[in-house]
Structures are given as C-alpha cells and as structure tokens.
Structure 1
Amino acid sequence: MALGRGLGSLIPSKQTSANAASHASVRDIPVGQIVPNPHQPRQHFSHVELENLIQSIRTHGILQPLLVSQLDPDHFELIAGERRLRAAKIAGLPTVPALIRDAAELEKVELALIENIQRSDLNPVEKAEGYRKLLQEFGLNHEEAAKKLGIPRPSFSNTLRLLELPGDIQKALADSRITEGHAKVLLGLPNVMEQKKYFHLIQTDQLSVHRLTQAVSGKTKQSHHPVRTTQASAYEEDLSLALGTKVTIDPKQIHIHYFSPEELSELVKKIKTRNL
C-alpha cells in the first residue's frame, strides 16, 4: 500500500463512495457499535476544533466516511476518523457513514498515524509515541518505519529522540509551553541535570530558541569536551543510514541506539551479514 498518497486515496467522500463499491462497502453504522482503535496515537483533542467540526456535522453531515474494520456482525473497530466519531456522538447522530475495510494490524496503525499527522497535527510528543509504536509493536527499524510514513529517516529518528527528554519537559512540549526547537537544543545537552537547568531558564527568562542556543553554546565553550569534527558527523550519518537507527560517535567510542529487543536483534543481524 502506498502511504504517501494521503487519506484521500484511501477514504472516498460520500459523493465518490458509490464508485468504490466493488472494492469496499460504505454503510451507515450505529455509533454505539464502533469501538475505539487501541493504536490511536492522539490523546488530546482541541475543544475548539471539535466545536467547529460539530457545527459542520450538524449543518452538512459527515462528508467523509470513517474507516473501520469489522470485528463481528454487530461491532466494528475504528481505524481512522476519531475526531469525526467524537463529534458525531456529541452532535447526537445515531449513525455515521463508514467505509468497511479489511485492514491488517500494521495497516491500522499506519492509517491512524497518517490521518492524524495530515488532518490535525499531533503534538510532537504524541507523534513520537506513535512512531515508537511502529518500532516496538511491529518490529520495524527506523528506516522501514520512515519509509512507510513517507518521511526522511533522520526526521523520524530526531522526532523519536524527544522521548529521551525527562517527563516534565515532554509535558511542556506537548502543552506548547516550549517549542520543538527548544526541545532539540535541550537534547544536545550532556545530562538530565543540564536539561532541567536550561528548561527552567526557558520558562523564567522566556528564552527564544536562538537565545537558548547561545546560552548552551556558551556553556559548551566553557567545558573541556573535544570539538566534534565534520568527519565524525558524516560517519554518524553513514552508519545511521546503514543500520537504520541512531548512531553517535564520541572520542574512542561508537554508540548504536535501539528501542526494542527486536530492533537489537535486527541490528546484530545487519552487522554480522554486512561485516560492519
């Protein structure tokens, strides 16, 4: 399945759904028969967004069917359309139009992620959690997961790294009290103590990303850590691409990162077969 085409190619509108009858079945399903998708990565929904959608549904109805898979004759699992289902329930609709699709487990996660990323962006932490699900629950490495989501592998890995931050910093990022730019600068600090110190400065001094970078750079210059070379960064990128995961190079050390036992096993196989 080509994931880069967007949900428009996967979920037809009500006007075009009749043309797709030979491939999938669209029908009105009682809202009480649709159970949530356990892989839904998004946990927070804007009240304003839902209010706008509720008013639109009351005026025009649901123009794009939900996507579900059938569990039994009377129950369906939601694959994509969480906001539309929530809004329909609040608006008091007894049924919703749904496209019934026989989706494999991995496809459900992919479709749910794609819809949320394209329709109403996940906050960076929710996006990272969704990425981690692909790795942990379905045995994908960074390169494979990034390809399925249609994004560059470094972008996938950098977003996933946000989960390395302390919980209070992750919450601040999810709540938009700091930006993803702030978070990336904090990730470059050597330990949690330093990360929390500068996180506190962001809030008390209202540091922009530029000012935070300057403050951190000043701290780095005062330390005695060796300066990284362009060659070391190039080697990191080459190894990351070859192994499909994050690789960091320190003086006399190479660190290969993995996020699940399955990914570790896959890394060992790659190193053995490629003689890396």
Structure 2
Amino acid sequence: MAKATKKQALGRGLSALLKDPQNDIQSAEDKNADKLVGHIVELELSSIEVNPFQPRTSFNEESLRELASSIKELGVIQPITVRKLEFDKYQLVSGERRYRASKLIGLETVPAYIRIANDQESLEMALVENIQRQDLDPIEIALSYQRLMDEISLTQEQLSDRVGKNRSTIANYLRLLKLDPIIQTGMRDGFLSMGHGRALINVDDPQLQLNIYEKILQKSLSVRDTEKLVREMQEGNSKTKVTSPSSSVPPTFKKGIKEFSEYLGAKVDVKVTKKGNGKLTIPFKSEEDFERIKKLIQSED
C-alpha cells in the first residue's frame, strides 16, 4: 500500500512540474527531462488530444462501457502513452480506448507515460503499439502495415522486425487489401473472417469475388466450405453453382428486373454479357399463364 501511495505522490509531483512554464520540457536534453520521460504522470484529460495517426476508426460502444465500468471500480491499471506537443498539451500515442472510457465516466485525470517524439516517430509508435496490443480487425491491421511501409519507408523484412511478426504473416495481411472494397468492408464489419478473405484472394476476377462473397453470406459458409468452392471454380467444376461473371447482372439492371417480375407476376431472369448484350427470360406455368403474360406485354403497346 505504501508503495502505491508513493507512486501516486510521484505522479502528482511530476504533474506540478509540468504545470510550471519555467520547466517546459520539449526535448530529452532539457532540464528535468530525465524526471519526466519513462515515468507515470497524472495528466488532465482536457490537455490530451486524440492521435490523428490512430489506425482504429471505430470503437465498440458496449465494449467501451464495459471498460469504463472496470475503470470506475479498479482505476486505469495500464497507463496510456502520450507525446508532448507544447506546454501542457499532449497527444495520444496509444491507449485511446482507456482515454475514451475514462472520459465516459467523467474522470478528470488519467495516468500516462510521456514521450518526446516527432510526428514520424509518433506515427510509428501508434501503429506498432496498436498492431501489437489492440484487437484491430484484419483490414485495419493490413492498413497499418501498409501505412508503416509507405510513410516510414520500411520493407516487409524491416516491418517484420519492428512488429515481431513473420514476414509471411505480414504478406498475408497485405494481400487482403487486394480484395474488392465491398468484401473489405464485410471483413471490417465482422461478416467474414481473415480465413474467408485469404480464400477469396485466390480469385482474380473482382465480380467473381463478389459472387462468392454473396454465397458466403447467404449460406453462412465456413472457411473450409469457401476454400472448397473457390477450388472447384478454379478447376472448372461443372457442379459449381456460382453465377459466371459473363452472365452476372450489373447493379443498374436489378431494379428493372424487380419491376418486371412484380408487373408480370413471374420471376424474370436477365443475363448480361461483358459486351452489354443479354437475354430476358420470362417463365410461365401453363398456356393460360402464357396468355396472361402476353396480354400484359401487349397492353403496354
């Protein structure tokens, strides 16, 4: 207990030090910098801004409320990490969920580690720490990897060393970014797993990817079922029932098909080739049904 009290007192002492304009620490060479960097400091939430380099773009509200309840009972067990911007102004490097949850229950201060870093270092710290410690979805992780490579000029090998992941693992995540944007959104929303995504990557045609994606959603296909479906299509298995991209219906036709079907009282089928020509099929159940449909079409003349 005495040890905890000492730590809290130290945090308050450093907080007071930071409030003194004469001790405004901007670099590791400044006076008293050694007392600040690497220590836990109680910072006012109002002095902290969120990090624009944060790879996470959405936060589950229920999960945040659960974390807020835990913080209310036990406090912030793991300090957040911030970097110093200017006098009494800080920016989050990692710990945005703890930051948001603390604000949710009305806390005024939060324990924090302070780092002095430039924007590039902050970007790298934010991305690497979030990749390692946050439950990002596969697409968010892939985007974080890509951003590290693009903005800090890292190779996959160098990135592997920074984040402690095998190069093959990083390559598999990066390949997910080649998927159709609709499928990427499905992964971000939790409709597909990374396993589904890896199976779909092997399909080169974007429209065919979307056809399989719809099948996965409609039939709740497992990863194994999806891999089998992709394999059958690649082998040209005639039993595969996924619509060929040459006969798939563009989105602009779908509304018209629905209107045709409702007007004629029959499930109209339309097939359109890549060249834009196509075929309209109107089924009928009997001679009487045929006459009924014919009259409906002729009445439009």
Q: TM-score, normalised by structure 2?
A: 0.64
- The alpha carbon displacement at 1:28 in A equals 1.6
Aligned letter for 1:220?
Q
Residue type at the aligned position of 1:90: L
Contact map agreement 1:110 1:149 (CA 8 A) in 2: no
Aligned 1:189-208 pairs, distance under 5 A:
189-208=203-222
2:110 to 96, 104, 107: 96
**Residues in 2 aligned to 1:82 and 1:57: alpha-carbon distance in whole angstroms:** 14
| Cα distance in 2 for residues equivalent to 1:71 and 1:95 | 18
**RMSD of equivalent CA atoms:** 2.4
Give the AA of the match of 1:162. Answer: L
Query: Percent identity at matched positions?
Result: 35
Instruction: Output aligned runs, 1:15-94, within 5 Å.
Output: 21=35, 23-94=37-108
Mapped pair 1:153 → 2:187: no
Name the amino acid aligned to 1:56: S
Structure-1 residue corresponding to 2:135: 121
Match of 2:297 in 1: none
Structure-to-structure mapping, 1:122-137, within 5 angstroms: 122-137=136-151
Aligned to 1:187: 201
Structure 1 residues 25 and 196, CA, compared in 2 at 3 Å: closer, same or farther? same
| Secondary structure of 2:58 counterpart | coil
Instruction: Give the drift of 1:47.
Output: 2.1
8 Å contact kept, 1:67–1:78: yes
**Letter paired with 1:194:** L
Q: Distance in 2 between matches of 1:165 and 1:66?
A: 34
Counterparts in 2 of 1:79 and 1:22: CA distance versus 1, 3 Å: closer
Give the Cα–Cα distance (whole angstroms) in 2 for the partners of residues 59 and 115 of structure 1. Answer: 26
Tell whether the 8 Å contact from 2:37 to 2:113 is kept in structure 1 after alignment: no
TM-score, normalised on structure 1? 0.70
What secondary structure, in the 3-state scheme, does the structure 2 residue paired with 1:194 have? Answer: helix
Counterpart of 1:143, as a letter, is E
Residues 125-176 of structure 1, C-alpha deviation per residue, up to 9 Å, x if partnerless? Answer: 1111111110111111211112111101111111011111111100111111
Q: Over residues 36-84 of structure 1, what are the superposed CA-to-partner deviations in whole Å (9 max), with x where a residue is unaligned?
A: 1111111122223211211121112212221111111121111111011
- Which letter does structure 1 place at the counterpart of 2:168? P
> Greater CA radius of gyration, 1 or 2?
2
Structure 1 residue ranges (4+ consecutive) displaced by more than 6 angstroms after TM superposition: 13-20
Whether contact under 8 Å (1:29, 1:98) holds in the other structure is yes
Determine if contact 1:79/1:111 at 8 Å carries over to the other structure: yes
Q: How many residues align?
A: 211
The CA distance in 2 between the partners of 1:14 and 1:142, in whole Å, is 45
* Alpha-carbon distance in 2 for matches of 1:15, 1:190: 61
Change over 3 Å in CA distance of 1:142–1:14 after alignment to 2:
farther
Structure 1 residues 36-45 or 21-30, which shifts more?
21-30
Q: Deviations over 1:240-265 (max 9, x none)?
A: xxxxxxxxxxxxxxxxxxxxxxxxxx
Please state whether the residue corresponding to 1:222 is helix, strand or coil. Answer: coil
1:92-132 Cα deviation digits (max 9, x unpaired): 01111111112344442343234333433100011111111
The answer to whether the Cα contact below 8 Å between 2:83 and 2:117 also exists between their aligned partners in 1 is: yes
Q: Secondary structure at the match of 1:68?
A: strand
- Against the structure 1 CA distance between its residues 63 and 220, is the aligned structure 2 distance closer, same or farther, given a 3 Å change threshold? same
The one-letter amino acid paired with 1:79 is V
1:171 aligned to 2:185? yes
Change in CA separation of 1:23 and 1:76 when aligned onto 2, cut-off 3 Å = closer
How many Å separate the matches in 1 of 2:189 and 2:90? Answer: 32
CA distance in 1, matches of 2:42, 2:132: 25
Where does the alignment leave 5 or more consecutive residues of structure 1 unmatched?
1-12, 224-276
